[in-house]
Amino acid sequence: MMQNLVFYETIKTEKSLMYAFRNGGRQGDETTPSVRQKIEKKAGEDEALFCKSCSNRITHRDQTISVSGSHTHTFFNPDGIVFELGCFRNAPGCLPAGEVTSEFTWFSGHVWCFALCRVCGVHLGWHYEMGESVFLGLILARLRE
Ligand SMILES: [Zn+2]
């Protein structure tokens, strides 16, 4: 290592300095995964989900949670309409609406109300609550990336 440092100090031109650093980087292989993680995290910042109707930003993939062992759930409402829901910890683009009820709840023990798009008012899913536990079940077909 000391030999390398001495070697770097003797390099005069920028071009050869860059070459030396690139070669030096190979010795520190353990730094590569953390660099990759940073890049992936940065890419993840763009994974927002938007209202399909008005493009209001609803939530983000980092709010994804698992409820009863799964992020997505498929349900039928009392009219027989099928919904594929994704569960999210938080969805700032949604507005809870309507009276809170436990009727026809899809998640045992949870009460619910509607979750509407804060901007255009379209029905995006449901807001669920059980004591301190709060989450949103959003209709995936009504969101876009
Ligand atoms: Zn909307």
For residue 70, the cross-strand partners are: 67
Domain boundary assignment for the chain: 5-144
CA 11 – CA 7 distance, rounded (Å):
7
For residue 73, the cross-strand partners are: 85
145 CA to centre of ligand 1 in angstroms: 13
Q: Are 87 and 68 in contact (CB under 8 A)?
A: no
67 CA to centre of ligand 1 in angstroms: 25
Query: Which amino acid is it at 115?
Result: A
126 CA to centre of ligand 1 in angstroms: 15
Q: What is the pLDDT along the chain (145 residues), one digit of tens a residue?
A: 444 444 444 444 444 434 434 444 444 444 455 555 554 555 555 799 999 999 999 999 999 999 999 999 998 888 888 999 999 999 999 999 999 999 888 898 999 999 999 999 999 999 999 998 899 999 999 999 9
CATH class of 5-144: mainly beta
121 CA to centre of ligand 1 in angstroms: 6
Q: Show Cβ contacts of residue 107 under 8 Å, excluding neighbours closer than 6 positions.
A: 67, 68, 128, 130, 137
Is the overall model pTM greater than 0.75, yes or no?
no
26 CA to centre of ligand 1 in angstroms: 49
117 CA to centre of ligand 1 in angstroms: 5
